[in-house]
Structure 1
């Protein structure tokens, strides 16, 4: 049976190191201390003829994606708790995040969800490791920010109890239709809702939410705000130009972004205006490490493009959080480039050695 896993479903072009010093900036909410760095001038944007629409596919978008996301969150939280997964909620959130990063290679081929659920324990864990490592090679800046969601996979041996919980969460997410929300090549369809927000909120105790001051804006509320404001979500995301339209190269920022819900609504609004989110610069910050990790993954799923910076900090206490996050992202990208360059050299040496061995065998 052909494996239908498409590890590149949500990938974007590898980013250039983020820039931090530019002219003006636009923010989602007032930041009493500072504004994040603005983008460098961008080349002329490409005009989309219309928001992308789905290709022929065996999966169909749900009529109410936000309700579907909530159902997935409830199913995942229930599965994790029944398996006594404990306080390590980064594990089930990381599972849903990884599944959200993939798609099906052939829409008419064998069902991807069925194939994943048929994997044995070893191959299931190997699949999750491959998803994260593949995306790290393309977006090391965002995958590094999401480290808390996948570093548990670095353990040489994942114990049987955890594997059982991982399998239960995988089954809950897939059987409740995760791929009908995220399993598309079209970023417009992948951005119908924020799946990770309800998963995170339902797994986290009310006390923990209150302690973090964490109250996520529901996706439906963000969209209602967009409709009400006339200029749509971009009224709260950026200053309107004289023409009253967002301009490519502008910086869209949310200083208390949670898992990125307002950025999602803004990106959808741009697409509906026949603009490409990749022609804008995006940044957000959240004090919660898991929320910031989810935002980083969502930036890939939603196709925000190569110019995204996600910081984990208190923007009131650290007004340079975005600058510092951008500097760290540059270092991570440079490290990725070094690793890949070394890998290419090693591969070339091995290929040369194989050719020499083959020549020696023929000569003998």
Structure 2
């Protein structure tokens, strides 16, 4: 059996049952928790720093999407670490038990995050809605970590962190980059430049998501000795965009009352909320498609050479020996008779007598 066949059989065996985590995932869990804690702390500080109720409501609406996205990743990351601990040593608690434990872990993370918002004002329903939305996001993230391929979800979480870092970096450089996209003195040029900037941010985030997801899966392959099929690489690249889209959907549904209340402050605020909501959804879709395409291109470059396109031998390698050519046989009857006379004298004598 060839080495390639053995690798294919090993990969197929690994995919017949739920795979075990290839690492403890403590670093990822720490990154997810710190990210969620930073977003919740920023949201709390922004909300409590407003003097009037109207600004407090609008600040809550602005902070909600970021807190939801971070809670999704935090719930998934902590659940992955818990599942890695439970499955170490070859233990397998079963698919249903794993899913329940992962979902419960996400719920615990979500409840802890919700406390940070609800305690701002325990009598205000708006903070209860925000806290419930955050708890739901972390629970959904934990449930996603309980599915069959934990390494794919690990790659998705690291890719989401990369997308967040790209967004933070571009936000700091926004004032310098907007003129590059055509921002001028008019409001129309500034609006167009902001749109182009948003598309560029989504595209760069998608590239980062695809490359990071690919590298995480390749590293897991070296650790475990088994690989995944290429559609799972595409899923790992598209995963951060899927999380952004899921976070936006959750914000529009579970947190809809917060957005509606913010839109009642003024007609301008309603327009701003609608524009931001559409921009977040577009950004998530761009990250999704660009991330999937980037991951597929990355894994496609590592595929083996087809059998019909075997590489040429090196210049310094010895040339293979050619088999000796068979002796040429004369085709003319006169030449055949002449050759027979030369080989056998008796044939030549009988020919003279004739």
Asked if TM exceeds 0.5, the reply is no
Please tell me whether Structure 1 or Structure 2 has the larger radius of gyration of its CA atoms.
2
Normalising by structure 2, report the TM-score: 0.29
Report which structure shows greater RCO (CA 8 Å, sep ≥6).
1
The structure with more helix, counted as a fraction of residues: 2
